[in-house]
Amino acid sequence: MYPHLFNQRFLNTYGICICIGLVCCFVVVRYYARVKGGVPKWVDFCEANAYVAIGVGFIAGMSGQAIFNFIKDPSQGFRITFESLTFICGLIGGVSSFIIGYLAIGRKKFGPRMVEVLPIAPVCILIAHAWGRVGCFFGGCCYGCATDSRLGLIFPKPGHKVYPTQVFEATFLFILFAALFYLAIKRNFKHGFVVYMIAYGIFRFLIEFIRGDNRGALVGEFSPSQSLSIIMVVSSIPIYFLTNYLLRKYQENTTLDPKIS
């Protein structure tokens, strides 16, 4: 693996991949706003709010992993580190932060425009997450179970051939990103978040069966990510109806001008 570029410790490959993903994320937002005719100041607010949400997401992801580590082995104490995080906890924290920022500031200033964010939000999450998984591959973490398959690769930490689950997940995320980006831009599809929650929830639940970096269990024999994946899929049902409600209110609102088609 290549945890550092050119053998320079300050050129952390994982961090660089995260930065690439975040840049791609904001490029997607700007492109979507330009194509759909978003209100410039509203777009600026969403971007600033997203910066805060990303920070909160990282803290939530690290805190979630610290909780799971404590449940797995209380003797080690409760420690939050930068070494690992749980993505789904980070996702929940980041999305919650964005919604709170919108309700506290954005809605009062720009009106009920949350529905404008729903089609593109999962697209942004996917491209950032995909690049993050590329970073995991280069960093040698989040690897899979031991295997003799031709798909296996030798990772430094286990020292033997394992499934490169980071590559599998990154590939899935890039494909889902392309599909939802097309639907949002070309088809005006409004339920991208629902599709994302179902698709990623199912994928993550299944791929955990071949993950080799054990991070404990949360419910029964299920890993923390599997338990949260179930919640993610089930939560897509109320999100679907909430999206329909917001869309109806948005279309009926005569005070918002302009609107995204």
pLDDT by residue (tens digit) across 169-201? 999 999 999 999 999 999 999 999 999 999 999
Provide mean pLDDT across the span 2-19. Answer: 75
pLDDT of residue 86: 77
Q: Which residue has the tokens 């992993």?
A: 65
Provide mean pLDDT across the span 149-166. Answer: 89
Q: What is the domain extent for residue 95?
A: 5-251
Query: For residue 2, what pLDDT band results from cuts at 50, 70 and 90?
Result: low
Question: Which of the two residues, 83 and 113, has the higher pLDDT score?
Answer: 113
Instruction: Give me the number of domains the chain comprises.
Output: 1
Query: For residue 165, what pLDDT band results from cuts at 50, 70 and 90?
Result: very high
pLDDT of residue 14: 84
Distance in angstroms between the alpha carbons of the first and the last residue of the chain = 45
* Whether pLDDT at 77 is above 90: no
* Whether pLDDT at 217 is above 70: no
* Whether pLDDT at 256 is above 80: yes
pLDDT of residue 10: 59
pLDDT of residue 261: 66
Q: Are 233 and 87 in contact (CB under 8 A)?
A: no
Cβ neighbourhood burial of 201 (10 Å; 0-12, 13-18, 19+)? buried
Provide mean pLDDT across the span 22-26. Answer: 93
* Whether pLDDT at 39 is above 70: yes
Among 140, 135, 239, CA closest to 193? 239
Give the C-alpha separation, 226 to 218, whole Å: 9
pLDDT of residue 83: 58
Question: Is 243 inside any structural domain?
Answer: yes
pLDDT of residue 218: 61
Segment among 122-131, 133-142, 178-187 with least mean pLDDT:
133-142
Among 14, 231, 208, 19, CA closest to 127? 19
Provide mean pLDDT across the span 197-216. Answer: 88
Question: Is 257 inside any structural domain?
Answer: no
* Whether pLDDT at 166 is above 90: yes
pLDDT of residue 84: 62
Question: Is 212 inside any structural domain?
Answer: yes
Question: Is 12 inside any structural domain?
Answer: yes
Question: Is 118 inside any structural domain?
Answer: yes
C-alpha distances in angstroms, 36 versus 180, 196, 218, 257? 15, 21, 42, 13
* Whether pLDDT at 73 is above 90: no
Question: Is 259 inside any structural domain?
Answer: no
Question: Is 256 inside any structural domain?
Answer: no
Query: For residue 1, what pLDDT band results from cuts at 50, 70 and 90?
Result: low
